[in-house]
């Protein structure tokens, strides 16, 4: 097993003398939201994707504001992808991720995932926890460059806060589990988290993932048909929790994702050490 690699203490010390480092790629950049206007732009993008595109069911307040917002937002960090070829304003934010660390969740009264999953097993994990969610990208930017920037921003955030484990819910579109019977079976059969990390769907919301005979499915095809976000987590060594959940408000079927960040650290360590040093020197 590879040893968990950390950014050097000296580099971390220097890094925390400045704000979170923005990373750039051409006209796109990834950074943390710094102003309420940027946070509002992220919520507007989430409304566009989740409600107008994917068919989530808004409350009266959500419909009136045209913003996706809940009580966890005020405690969370927002990771943003921006297109600097766009004029300043809401249109510039083209991708976002909501990030909630354990210390922030304590202030919020818990993690969002607890509404769907029993995550008590993670309370014994000896390290810093990060819940990720509300990930979306504007339809015009669902290319490799924008998605890659979101992953890079996530990795940089993990370095910045020295996160050891990330988790959250990732989704399939629609509310019919049988539509994804083979894929859910594949995830349960081959990607189930080990007992020490195995969060479980709440009994009253649980949907069985083992839906067909696992010996009769095409594993290669199932891997190909996974949503890009879930596929990305699994490529980095992530696992799924036990049981799926149908979210009728957001018109999705959710699975829990758990990922030890040492795998991200090993993959990106030298790359981010160099980029962070360059940014600090700049």
Segment 27-43 shows an average pLDDT of: 96
Burial of 106 (0-12, 13-18, 19+ CB in 10 A): exposed
Mean pLDDT lowest for which of 66-70, 209-213, 233-237, 246-250? 233-237
Residue 255, classed as helix, strand or coil, is strand
Question: What is the pLDDT, as a whole number, of residue 88?
Answer: 84
- Determine phi and psi for 132, rounding to 5 degrees: -115, 145
- In this prediction the pTM is 0.88
At 264, the pLDDT band (50, 70, 90 cuts) reads: confident
Residues 132 and 224 occupy one common structural domain: no
Distance CA 72, CA 203 (A): 23
CATH of residue 74's domain is 3.40.630.30
Q: Are residues 63 and 120 in the same domain?
A: yes
Tell whether 109 and 188 lie within a shared domain.
Answer: no
Q: Domain check: are 266 and 231 in the same one?
A: no
C-alpha span between 273 and 52 (Å, rounded): 39
Asked if pLDDT for residue 3 goes beyond 80, the answer is no
- 155 & 199 share domain: no
Q: Token digits for 160? A: 């910045």
Q: Are residues 240 and 133 part of one domain?
A: no
pLDDT above 90: percentage of residues in the chain? 74
Q: Which residues, listed in sequence order, are joined to residue 98 by a DSSP beta bridge?
A: 78, 133
Contact partners, residue 33, CB within 8 Å, separation at least 6: 39, 42, 77, 78, 79, 80
pLDDT at residue number 238: 95
Q: How far apart are CA 122 and CA 164, in angstroms?
A: 11
Confirm if 2 and 261 have CB atoms less than 8 A apart: no
pLDDT of residue 156: 87
213-244 tens-digit pLDDT: 999 999 999 999 999 999 999 998 999 999 99
Summarize pLDDT for 146-193 with one digit per residue, the tens. 888 998 899 889 988 989 999 999 999 999 999 999 999 999 999 999
d(CA 213, CA 36): 50
| Separation of alpha carbons 94 and 97, rounded Å | 11
Q: Could you tell me the pLDDT band of residue 19, with boundaries at 50, 70 and 90?
A: low
Overall domain count for the chain? 2
Q: Which domain holds residue 279?
A: 1-164+262-282
- Each residue's pLDDT tens digit, 83-139: 999 988 889 999 999 999 999 999 999 999 999 999 999 988 999 999 999 999 999
Could you tell me the two tokens for 159? 């370095």
Rg (CA), the chain: 19
Residue predicted with more confidence, 25 or 257: 257
**Section 35-43 average pLDDT:** 97
Among 36-50, 137-151, 173-187, 202-216, the minimum mean pLDDT is found in: 137-151
| Tokens read off for 5 | 């690699």
Same domain, 21 and 158: yes
- 108 and 64 share a domain? yes
The alpha carbon torsion through 200, 105, 154, 125 (nearest 10 deg) reads: -50
Same-domain pairing of 15 and 56: yes
| 225 lies in the same domain as 277 | no
Stronger pLDDT, 279 or 213, i.e. the higher one: 213
Q: Is 86 helix (H, G, I), strand (E, B) or coil?
A: coil
Strands 206-207 and 252-260: unpaired
39: buried, middle or exposed (CB in 10 Å: 19+, 13-18, 0-12)? Answer: buried
Task: Give yes or no: residues 180 and 158 share one domain.
Answer: no
d(CA 92, CA 89): 6
Same domain flag for 109 and 121: yes
């Amino acid at each position: 097993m590879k040893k968990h690699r950390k950014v050097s203490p000296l580099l971390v010390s220097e890094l925390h003398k400045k704000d979170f480092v923005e990373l750039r790629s051409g006209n796109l950049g990834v950074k943390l939201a710094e102003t309420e206007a940027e946070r509002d732009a992220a919520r507007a993008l989430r409304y566009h994707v989740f409600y107008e595109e994917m068919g989530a069911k808004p409350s009266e307040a959500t419909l009136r504001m045209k913003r996706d917002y809940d009580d966890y937002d005020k405690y969370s960090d927002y990771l943003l992808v921006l297109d600097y070829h766009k004029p300043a304003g809401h249109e510039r934010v083209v991708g976002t991720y909501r990030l909630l660390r354990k210390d922030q969740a304590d202030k919020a009264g818990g993690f969002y995932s607890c509404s769907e999953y029993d995550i008590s097993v993670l309370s014994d994990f000896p390290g810093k926890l990060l819940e990720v969610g509300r990930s979306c990208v504007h339809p015009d930017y669902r290319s490799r460059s924008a998605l890659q920037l979101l992953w890079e921003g996530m990795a940089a955030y993990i370095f910045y806060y020295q996160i050891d484990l990330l988790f959250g819910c990732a989704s399939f579109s629609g509310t019919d589990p049988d539509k994804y019977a083979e894929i859910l079976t594949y995830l349960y059969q081959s990607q189930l988290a080990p007992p020490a990390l195995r969060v479980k769907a709440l009994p009253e919301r649980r949907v069985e993932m083992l839906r067909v005979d696992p010996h009769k499915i095409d594993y290669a095809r199932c891997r190909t048909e996974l949503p890009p976000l879930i596929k990305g987590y699994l490529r980095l060594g992530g696992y799924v929790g036990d049981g799926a959940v149908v979210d009728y408000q957001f018109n999705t079927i959710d699975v829990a994702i758990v990922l030890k960040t040492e795998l991200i650290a090993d993959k990106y360590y030298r790359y981010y050490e160099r980029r962070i040093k360059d940014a600090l020197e700049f």
